[in-house]
Amino acid sequence: MKLTGLDLDYLRRGLRTHPRIAPEVASVDLDRMRTRELVALTSRLGLDARALIDTVREHDDEQRTERMVYSTKFPGFRGTLDFELTVELCGKRVTRKARADYTFTPKWEYWDTRKRAPFVGWPGSGACITVRTLPSKDGTDGASPWRKIDILDIWEVWDILDDAIDEQCRAEDAKRRRAAERKRSKQPTDAKAAGR
């Protein structure tokens, strides 16, 4: 049987997680076994290697789709990042207050407030950039309207924004985890509740 590296990964995962045989292979180092040895072990355990690979692959695809749908519907973070935008054109420089209203689901594990648990979503981000169009008389940009702009079709700008959003979301994630931990520590344990 010819198997790709990904097939072997699926086979190892299938052997590790199969409810009937996981205890039997717990003491075996599946990562060091060669293709022939893995296929022989699978047969000895009464399983079809190709069927096990296909089952794990399908489950993987289903989980991936579920994560993508969930993360599209409920991004890990929503927020606003304020910054100053400076544009130089024909030797003149103009600076305005700007903001990115964003949705962001990171590659890293974050505290999901809907699930109330750590979660790894489907990575993605989106941002709408708006800029104060005119400075106010006192120079604070306080009274001018916000307008959406399309000037930021420069990839370097998006990279800078992505990094800044990632940093802000990591700080928010740390706050979420601390709040969840405080909430957990205030709840009575089952033993204390049973003693009442």
HEC readout, 89-119:
ECCEEEEEEEEEEEEEECCCCEEECCCCEEE
Q: What is the pLDDT of residue 93?
A: 80
Going by pLDDT thresholds of 50, 70 and 90, the confidence category of residue 193 is: low
Question: How many separate domains does the chain show?
Answer: 2
Say if residue 26's pLDDT is above 70.
yes
Q: Looking at the domain assignment, is residue 132 inside a domain?
A: yes
- Same structural domain, 54 and 110: no
Q: Looking at the domain assignment, is residue 125 inside a domain?
A: yes
Give the end of a domain, one of 58, 83, 99: 58
Q: Element (H or E) spanning 147, and its range?
A: strand 146-148
Q: Looking at the domain assignment, is residue 192 inside a domain?
A: no
Q: What is the pLDDT of residue 150?
A: 58
Say if residue 151's pLDDT is above 60.
no
- Same structural domain, 134 and 180: yes
Q: What is the pLDDT of residue 135?
A: 60
- Same structural domain, 143 and 174: yes
Which range of residues forms the domain containing residue 49?
A: 5-58
Q: Looking at the domain assignment, is residue 118 inside a domain?
A: yes
- Same structural domain, 126 and 180: yes
- Same structural domain, 29 and 91: no
Q: Looking at the domain assignment, is residue 145 inside a domain?
A: yes
Of 191 and 165, the structure prediction assigns the larger pLDDT to: 165
Say if residue 82's pLDDT is above 80.
yes
Q: Looking at the domain assignment, is residue 68 inside a domain?
A: no
- Same structural domain, 85 and 53: no
Buried residues in 45-79 as b, exposed as e (16+ CB within 10 A):
eebebeebbeebbeeeeeeeeebeebbeebbbbeb
- Same structural domain, 53 and 85: no
Q: Looking at the domain assignment, is residue 66 inside a domain?
A: no
- Same structural domain, 93 and 19: no
Q: Looking at the domain assignment, is residue 134 inside a domain?
A: yes
pTM of structure: 0.58
- The distance from CA 183 to its chain's CA centroid, rounded to whole angstroms, is 24
- Same structural domain, 171 and 83: yes
Computed over every residue of the chain, the mean pLDDT equals 83
